[in-house]
Amino acid sequence: MSTQYNIAVVGATGVVGQELIKILEERKVPVGELRPLASARSAGKTVKFNDTHIEVQELTPDSFNGIDYALFSAGGAISEEFCPHAVKAGTVCIDNTSHFRMDPTVPLVVPEVNAADAHKHNGIIANPNCSTAQLVVALKPIYDEVGIARLVISTYQSVSGAGNEAIFELEEQSRALLNGQELAPEQFPHPIAFNAIPHIDKFTENGYTKEEMKMVGETKKIMGDDTIAVTATCVRIPVFICHSESVNIKTRKKISAARVRELLQAAPGVEVVDDVANNVYPLPRAVSGKNDVQVGRIRDDISQENGIELWCVGDNLRKGAALNAIQILEELIK
Amino acid sequence: MSTQYNIAVVGATGVVGQELIKILEERKVPVGELRPLASARSAGKTVKFNDTHIEVQELTPDSFNGIDYALFSAGGAISEEFCPHAVKAGTVCIDNTSHFRMDPTVPLVVPEVNAADAHKHNGIIANPNCSTAQLVVALKPIYDEVGIARLVISTYQSVSGAGNEAIFELEEQSRALLNGQELAPEQFPHPIAFNAIPHIDKFTENGYTKEEMKMVGETKKIMGDDTIAVTATCVRIPVFICHSESVNIKTRKKISAARVRELLQAAPGVEVVDDVANNVYPLPRAVSGKNDVQVGRIRDDISQENGIELWCVGDNLRKGAALNAIQILEELIK
C-alpha cells in the first residue's frame, strides 16, 4: 500500500486553483483527501477531481486539521494570514503568491534549478512569479556551463496571470471593439484589447514595477547567485495564456548558440523549438496547456562578446504557477 | 506667388500611400499636381485629395514626366525597377522601401536626426524602417549629450506594418476565434489573433530576421556612428497601429533618468508621456494617429553603470513611414 497525502487547495475556484486540481489529477499525485478552500463567496460550489465532485469549504484558521500539504493561490494577503495557521496545524504550505518569496527563511524553488532547497523549509515553500519560473528553467543549463553576468529581459505577458476576470475582460473588450464599441477597463489600468500595457503590478520607487523587480530578485535567489545583474520590462499584451520573453544574456565565458541549443535539448522541463528555416519558434498559442517551457530564436548576440539572444515561452498557469507548485510537492513526497 | 510641386505617390492605394496623401493635405504641402500611381489592378480607382477625387494611374516607366518628387511605397521590387526611371525623368525619389536604404550613395534620413543628409542625394533618398525611425528620434538627444555604446531592443509591432490585408486578417481572425472558429493565416506565418510572433520579414544567415538587421544597420547609418552596438528582437503582436519598443541603452558617459526626461521634453518629434504614479505611459492605442513619438517608463537601469531603460511608441504609418517621408520632402523644398 502506498502512502497518500491530504491536500488543501486554497483559492480552489480561481484560475490557478483550477489548474492545480487538474494537474494533481493528471500527474496522479497520491491524494488521500482533497480539500478545496476558498472565500465564503465561493463556499458551496463544487470542483471536479478524478470522478468526484467535491464541495468547496470556506477558508478559516481551522481549515487545515489533518492536511499534509496546502497549495496557496488566493493572493498575498490570504497567504500572509492563513499560512501561519496551516503551519501551526502541521501542514506544509506551498505558496504561489509573492508574499514570502524574498523572505530569507523561506526557500523559493523551481525544481529543475534548485530542488534541494525545497527540503530546507520551516513549513512554507514559495513558488516563484510566473515570468521568473519559465526563465530560470531556460537559463540554468547555460549558467552551469559558462556562468551568467547580466540579463536584459522584455516580457510579453498574457492576461490569465491576472485571473479569470481578466480573461473575460480581454474577450469582451475585443468583441466590443470589433463591433465598434468601447468597454471600459476594470481589471487593467487601460484597455488591453489590441493594445500593449507596459505596467504589471504596482510601480516602485526606482521606476520599475513590482513585477519587474520580482524577476530581478527571484532570479538571483533561485539561481543562488546575487552577482547576476538583471533588468526587465514587463508588458501585458492581448494574449489569453502563456508568457513570452525576449532574453538577452551576457555569459561569463564565451558560448555559441549551437552549444546553447545542445544544452537546452538535454535540459529537463525545456523543449527547444528552433528551426527558423521552417518558421518554427515558440508561440504562446501553441504552448498553452504544455508543461515544458519552449525556447527558440537562439542566436549569437551580434552586439557583445559572450552574448546569447533567445525567445522563451511558457504556460503561465502551468510552469508559471500550478505545475511548478505540484513539482515542489512531488519533490517533497518522493 | 509661392512655388508648387508636382508630386507622385507610388502605391497610392496602399495603407502607407493613403497616409501619404492624407499628410500632404494635413500639412499643406504646396502640391501642384498630385499623381497617384499604382499597379494595373488599382488603376481607375480614385483617391481623395483636398476636395477633389483623382484617378489612380497605372505605374509605367513614363509615369514621371513633369513630376518633381515621387514618394514610393509599393514594395522593394517596384522601387528597384521604377526609381531609376523617375530619376532619369528628373524626379527626386523619396523611397519608403528597404531597397536603397543601406546603399552608401543613398542618404537615409530622419529629419530630426540628420536633416542635412537629405540634401546629399543623387536622385534617391531613403526613408527608414518604421521601427528604426521612431527609435532614433528618441535616441538622438541622449546620443548628443553622452554618446551611446550599446542598445538592446525588443519590439511589439502592429499588423499595419504588413499592409491593409494584414489589418483585415487580425480583425477577421480575432472575430472568428471569439466565435470559437479558426481562420487560417495568410498574411503572417502563424495566427496573429491573441498571439505573439517573433518573426518579421525573412530570416538571415546569423539567425536574426531582416527586420532586426534593419534596426541594427539603419540605426548606425542614420546616427552616423558605426561604433554603436545594436541587437534587436522584433515581434508582431495583435495591435492594429503603432509599434512599441522596450529599449535598454548603455551610454558612453553617465546620465540620469531625470536628465534624459529633460532632454526628451525639449526634443523635436518627441512627447514625454511618463507619470507612472498616475498610470501614465505610452500606449499604442493612444498614439495611433499622432505625429510625435511618445517616450515613457524612463528609468535608471539597475543592471549596469551608465544604463537607461525606456519604452517608446510611435505610429508606424506616420513617423514610421508616411510622415517621415513628407518631412524629408519638406526639408528638400523649404
List all residues 6 or more positions away from B179 whose beta carbon is below 8 Å from its beta carbon. Answer: none
Q: Express each pLDDT in B242-274 by its tens digit.
A: 999 999 999 999 999 999 999 999 999 999 999
> Closest chain A residue to B229 measured between Cα atoms?
A303
Task: Note whether A301 contacts B: Cβ–Cβ < 8 A.
Answer: yes
Q: How far is B263 from chain A (nearest CA, A)?
A: 18
Check residue A322 and give its pLDDT. 97
Check residue A196 and give its pLDDT. 98
Task: Note whether B239 contacts A: Cβ–Cβ < 8 A.
Answer: yes
Whole-angstrom distance, CA of residue B21 vs CA of residue B34: 9
Residues 165-184 in A contacting B (C-alpha not used; CB under 8 Å): 170-171, 174-175, 178
Mean local confidence (pLDDT), B320-325: 96
Mean local confidence (pLDDT), B115-128: 98
Give backbone dihedrals phi and psi of B84, rounded to 5 degrees, phi first: -60, -40
Q: Are A188 and A166 in contact (CB under 8 A)?
A: yes
Specify the 3-state DSSP secondary structure of B190. Answer: coil
Kindly state the DSSP code that residue A127 receives in the 8-state scheme.
Answer: P
pLDDT higher than 90, residue B195: yes
Pairwise CB contact (< 8 Å): A309 & B277: no
- CA B141 from centroid of its chain's CA atoms: 19
- B contact test, residue of A177, A231, A288, A294 with most B CBs within 10 A: A231
pLDDT higher than 70, residue B304: yes
| CA atoms within 13 Å, Cβ hemisphere of B220 | 16
Best CA proximity match to A59, nearest among A104, A14, A25: A14
Residues, chain B:
334
Whole-angstrom distance, CA of residue B314 vs CA of residue A10: 44
B237, B277, B303 ranked by CB distance to A231: nearest: B303
Collect all residues of chain B within an 8 Å Cβ-Cβ radius of residue A197.
283
B152, B277, B297 ranked by CB distance to A198: nearest: B297
Q: Are B247 and B168 in contact (CB under 8 A)?
A: no
Element spanning A333, H or E: helix A323-333
At residue A27's C-alpha, the angle toward residues A26 and A30, to 5°, is 115
Mean local confidence (pLDDT), B7-34: 97
Q: Express each pLDDT in A50-68 by its tens digit.
A: 999 999 999 999 999 999 9
B189, B208, B216 ranked by CB distance to A279: nearest: B189
Share of chain B above pLDDT 70, in %: 100
> Closest chain B residue to A172 measured between Cα atoms?
B178
Task: Note whether A259 contacts B: Cβ–Cβ < 8 A.
Answer: no
Task: Note whether B195 contacts A: Cβ–Cβ < 8 A.
Answer: yes
Q: Is B48 left (phi over 0), alpha (psi -120 to 50) or beta?
A: beta
List all residues 6 or more positions away from B20 whose beta carbon is below 8 Å from its beta carbon. Answer: B9, B12, B71, B73, B322, B325, B326
> Closest chain B residue to A279 measured between Cα atoms?
B189
Check residue B2 and give its pLDDT. 74
Pairwise CB contact (< 8 Å): B156 & A300: no
Residues 15-34 in A contacting B (C-alpha not used; CB under 8 Å): none
List all residues 6 or more positions away from B287 whose beta carbon is below 8 Å from its beta carbon. Answer: B242, B294, B313, B314, B315
Kindly state the DSSP code that residue B91 receives in the 8-state scheme.
Answer: P
Whole-angstrom distance, CA of residue B200 vs CA of residue A274: 16
- B contact test, residue of A167, A183, A190, A237 with most B CBs within 10 A: A237
Whole-angstrom distance, CA of residue B169 vs CA of residue B172: 5
Sign of CA dihedral B210, B215, B221, B225: negative
- CA B325 from centroid of its chain's CA atoms: 9
Q: How far is B296 from chain A (nearest CA, A)?
A: 9
Give the E-state strand segments of chain B in sequence order.
5-10, 31-38, 46-49, 52-55, 57-58, 69-72, 92-95, 124-126, 148-156, 229-233, 243-251, 270-272, 293-300, 307-314
Pairwise CB contact (< 8 Å): B304 & A197: no
Give alpha helix (H) positions in B101-242: 111-114, 130-146, 164-178, 210-223
Whole-angstrom distance, CA of residue A307 vs CA of residue A146: 11
For chain B, helix (H) and strand (E) counts, in that order, are 9, 14
Mean local confidence (pLDDT), B317-328: 96
Asked whether the ipTM of the predicted complex exceeds the cut of 0.85, the reply is yes
Which portions of chain A are predicted below pLDDT 70?
1
Task: Note whether B36 contacts A: Cβ–Cβ < 8 A.
Answer: no
A130 annotated active-site: yes
- A contact test, residue of B173, B302, B313, B315 with most A CBs within 10 A: B302
Q: Are strands A46-49 and A52-55 parallel, antiparallel or unpaired?
A: antiparallel
Best CA proximity match to A81, nearest among A130, A10, A33, A9: A10
Domains and CATH numbers, chain B: 5-127+321-333 (3.40.50.720), 132-316 (3.30.360.10)
Check residue B147 and give its pLDDT. 98
Task: Note whether A302 contacts B: Cβ–Cβ < 8 A.
Answer: yes
Predicted confidence band of residue B1 (pLDDT cuts 50, 70, 90)? low
